[in-house]
Every structure is written in structure tokens, then in C-alpha cells.
Structure 1
Amino acid sequence: MDERKRESIVAWLRRRMAEFGIEPEDIATSIAADQERLQAVRFRDASGNAWDGKGVPPQWVVQAISAGQSLEHFAIDGASNRDPGKRTGADWRNDPFAGTRLATVSAESVGTA
């Protein structure tokens, strides 16, 4: 980004901040609060949903656990908490589709890559 374009964006942001009565300290406080909240997150899914592990689990956690997923699968720092010898993820030994066409169809044969 060239310097002129950057200065134009900064000027526009300053005008908008003044229009809404936002001070630079307000932004700094908001960023600090976001950082604190993000550090408290213990579980996150692939869609970006997050949970700190406190209180009632959110719907995405309930649905994942109901579908057979373990909570530790979503742990952000779970690698340090897991037993390295323990397998994580799905247990395919009890797969009801094992040996059926559903278990052997590849993505290429379906037409997706």
C-alpha cells in the first residue's frame, strides 16, 4: 500500500472516530479485552466457534458431543494435555458402514476433489 493511500485511510478513520465520539484509548481498551477473551478460550471448532469451558456448553459443543466427537478434539492447547500414546478422533473399529460401499467410495468417484 502506498503512503498516500494509507494516509487517506487513516484520515477517514479519524473522521469516523470523531463522528462517533471514539477515542484511541477506547480502541486500545477494546483490543485488550478481545485479547483477554481470546486467551481464555479453551475450545474451538473448524468454523471458528469458541468456548472457554465454563458454564453451559454452547450448541456447537452439544451437537459435536452428541455426534460422537470428544471434547478434547476441540481443545486449543490439547496437545499438551493429551496422552501421547492415546489415539484421538473417531474410533473406526465400530464403524457401522465398514465394508459397505459408503466406506469405500472415494471423493474422486463422487465427482468432488
Structure 2
Amino acid sequence: MKLSELKALVDRAVETSRDYEDHEVVVAVKLPYTTVGAIPMIAVKSVNKGFDWENGKFIIRTEEELTPADRDFATKMRDMQEQLGFAEMKIRTLKTENKRLKKQIGVEE
């Protein structure tokens, strides 16, 4: 994205906001596990034009350091979540079967 595109989008967001309020600027992040509720976000701490090696860049700094995703870690977390889901399903199935067998042989719970 170019700075001019960002400016146009910000200008449009301000123009179309009803009862304009000073919105907090955040960056959406993807966590390596499933979350419930709002999108995970990190607040923006500062912005500046780059210089020297970063010349020609518009740099956004967040309150927390961002690190490129460790794809292996993300895959492991996703696999662990799937395994946990299957384990919970298996436990429910076994509990149901256990109750059925106890009832069949006349054992009280």
C-alpha cells in the first residue's frame, strides 16, 4: 500500500463517520490459536517517514513488537487444537458408551 492510498482511506473513514469520534488506531494481528470475540489487535504507538535505508517508507510502530510468524509454531498450535477437539469428542463418546454398558449390566452410577 502506498501512503497516498492510506491517506485516501483515512480521509474517507473520517468523512463517513457519523458523530465523528477520535478512533483509536490499531493493527489487526493473527494469533497462532483460535480466539473468541473481537479481532486481536495491537495499538499503534507512532508513525514516521523513513530515512536512510528506510527512505521512501512510511513506518508504523506498534505498542508491542511484532515478529514474523513462525509457521512451524502456528501449524503445531493448529494441530494441537484439532487433537484437543478430537480428544474431547472421544471422551464424550466413551462416557456415553460407559453409561450404556453400565446400564446394560445393571451397575448404578
Higher-helix-fraction structure: 1
TM-score normalised according to structure 1 size: 0.22
Between 1 and 2, higher relative CO (CA 8 Å, sep ≥ 6) is seen in 2
TM-score normalised according to structure 2 size: 0.22
Higher-strand-fraction structure: 2
